[in-house]
Amino acid sequence: MKLVIVESPSKSKTIQKYLGDGYKVLASGGHICDLPEKSLGIDLQNNYKPEYEVNKDKKDTIKKLKAAMKGTDEVYLATDPDREGEAISWHLANVLELENPKRIEFNEISSKAVNAALQKPRQLNLDLINSQQARRVLDRLVGYKISPVLNKKIKSGLSGGRVQSAALKMIVDREREVTAFVPEEYWNIFAMLLKKAKGAGIKAALNDYNGKKIKVTSEVEAKAVEKNLKGAEWIVDSVKRGVSKSRPFAPFTTSTLQQDGSQRLGISAPEVMKLAQQLYEGINIEGEGQTALVTYIRTDSVRVSSDAQKEALDFIKSVYGEEYTPKKPNFYSTKASGVQDAHEAIRPIALDKTPELLKAKIGRNHYRLYKLIYDRFIASQMTDAVYNTLNVHINAGTDSGVYGFKVGGKTLVFRGYTAAYDNSVEDEEEAGSRLPDLTEGEKLDFKELKSEQKFTKPPSRFTDATLVKAMEENGIGRPSTYASVISVLAKREYTVKEQKNIKPTPLGETVVEFMEKNFADIVDSKFTAGMETKLDTIQNGEEWQKIIADFYPPFEKNVKMAYSLEKKVKMEDEVTDVVCDKCGALMVIRSSRYGRFMACPNYPKCKNIKNIVETVGKCPRCGGDIVKKRTRAGKTFYGCGKYPECDFMSWEVPAPHLCPKCNGVMRITQKGDNKSYVCINKTCGHTIILTNDGD
């Protein structure tokens, strides 16, 4: 009998099915050891040696593992194939007193991959272990030293983690940009023109004047342009036709999966990672039992194995045809620095398990995320999409000069990879397909001018997707930490969500201001990125204690100064326009571990409190306000504000009317500027695409 120890109980069931008799597969349930909860756990006088202890909730697990070891020939440590997994295996080897621990790893949980790994056991990688130790020690030092300062100088219950602080500053900095933004006026001017022979319409935008770019910034200027263009002669100046190709997107990494999962599916980054982990470890498929569907989901590599590429090309040829199959496999590289290439990109394990085949056998969100991963991988191995492009420049000759107008677009002529995975950025621009055939020197008829007043927009607040992208671009944290950072910031009430936008709370802004003054390096994205790079070098053999020793003394000095010099920060209450119905004072916003609420400022004399009601739309059943609510378990739902008279509720933001086909609930979806109502009834799925004016 041989014992295989993995991290997840779900994974253990799947692997046990593959190995069968002769093997016993058990799970550690993640980390079995960590630094102590109630003390620093780092010997500052002994080269920053960490003092690990067995987690209280893992003592029974250790007993079961030790009992299972009796009578076994071999013990294989099969924790996750990353730094953290290596550290867990190291702790298991120490606690279980394994003399010659055998470490195995696999990128996918399949019979082939698991059995292949068993044929190639290796020793524990001490450099990987030290890389994980250094991160754990550094995070403990920062969190354990800064958090008490924040609790004493601002309010209790706060934390100041190494990565979360830098991420919070990014959010606060963006909010400062939004607040300071001053919109600038500009005008778009369009000429509605007609081709003389057939009367086909052309909508061209003002672009230049006497060959130089023109910008209209006021109504006075717009009126002057309109006046000058009266009686103008409209002649096609140039017609440029071409062909453009769009290359497929690389298969998913951890970061891009979180971004697309958030943007396309409307799922938060933490939820994306939770679902992806389950798809990797194995989920229960009706009729098949526990089955893993995707490869390891913590990776920043876009590499794909040659076997997976060959299987994909065969699949594409049989399903889509020869023209969709490249003559040579597509290869990708990433521009990011410090990429770890130990694992493949995220892909489906078996292409015969198509999303359509599993749709009725797994949960809705598991299906949606699996389909996203599956389609992206297939598309990554397909041929380019091909477009015909057309760009036309039209001159409007006047007594005062020549105004130039432009119109163009592209028309999809070969779908290529978009047959499997389309992206709104690459969607066909209809303008090009509607243009009539034009030739240089051709005269056009004038129909009318249209002027539109516009204002520049402030920078967009971060969403889960854009924050993940920004953290990756700035080198803050690593892919496996992005989702947890977003969760912690919300949990600490440093941020709130407004629709999909992440906005800092007054508390979050206060924390950043305090950190900027006292711990400037910790919230500096460049410093944080530099530290990540240093930590990455440890797995290449660098001494981890030296990195900590260079960081800690000046950091400790800053901690002592913050304690001694800083006065307690007075948090200003956020005053509302809601009048307390007991004493007449204007109520203020307060926070608790259950969320934000309105309270009377005269507490404790007046103890009146009220829930904060967030209205997100109109009830499709009665027309009342739809209010964002939470269940006792903390799950968000949307219900009618006229309850109990109207008991309408939905787990998603509902459209203001029911489906015209089946009378079911419709949800609101948005991709870029395109907004739609989609029926949530799987058998219906009716979609209404909205115009700028509504339905």
Q: Is 192 helix (H, G, I), strand (E, B) or coil?
A: strand
AA identity, residue 175 = E
- Alpha carbon dihedral 410, 414, 419, 421, in 10-degree steps, equals -50
Q: Which of 486, 73, 504 is nearest to 267 (CA)?
A: 486
**C-alpha to C-alpha distance for 500 and 268, rounded to whole angstroms:** 9
Which residues form the catalytic set?
A: 296
- With a CB cutoff of 8 Å and minimum separation 6, the contacts of 693 are none
> Which secondary-structure segment (H or E) carries 276?
helix 269-281
State the distance between the two ends of the chain, measured CA to CA, in whole angstroms: 66
AA identity, residue 120 = K
Cβ(250)–Cβ(380) below 8 Å: yes
What the block records as the tokens of 177 is 């940009």
Per the omega criterion (within 30 degrees of 0), is the bond before 504 cis? no
**C-alpha to C-alpha distance for 220 and 205, rounded to whole angstroms:** 18
Give the number of other Cβ atoms within 10 Å of residue 574's Cβ: 15
- Alpha carbon dihedral 372, 375, 381, 385, in 10-degree steps, equals -100
Q: What are phi and psi of 537, to 5 degrees?
A: -70, -20
Angle at 247 between CA 408 and CA 310, to 5 degrees: 155
What the block records as the tokens of 417 is 């990879």
**C-alpha to C-alpha distance for 177 and 648, rounded to whole angstroms:** 39
Cβ(454)–Cβ(219) below 8 Å: no
Cβ(346)–Cβ(354) below 8 Å: no
**C-alpha to C-alpha distance for 261 and 267, rounded to whole angstroms:** 6
> Which secondary-structure segment (H or E) carries 353?
none
Cβ(576)–Cβ(589) below 8 Å: yes
Helix residue ranges, H only, 343-478 = 355-358, 364-380, 430-434, 464-474
What the block records as the tokens of 450 is 């249209």
What length does the chain have? Answer: 695
DSSP 8-state assignment for residue 592: E
What the block records as the tokens of 649 is 């509720």
Cβ(107)–Cβ(296) below 8 Å: yes
- With a CB cutoff of 8 Å and minimum separation 6, the contacts of 102 are 74, 75, 76, 77, 121, 122
- With a CB cutoff of 8 Å and minimum separation 6, the contacts of 673 are none
Q: Which of 407, 401, 405, 390 is nearest to 234 (CA)?
A: 405
- With a CB cutoff of 8 Å and minimum separation 6, the contacts of 303 are 332, 341, 344, 345
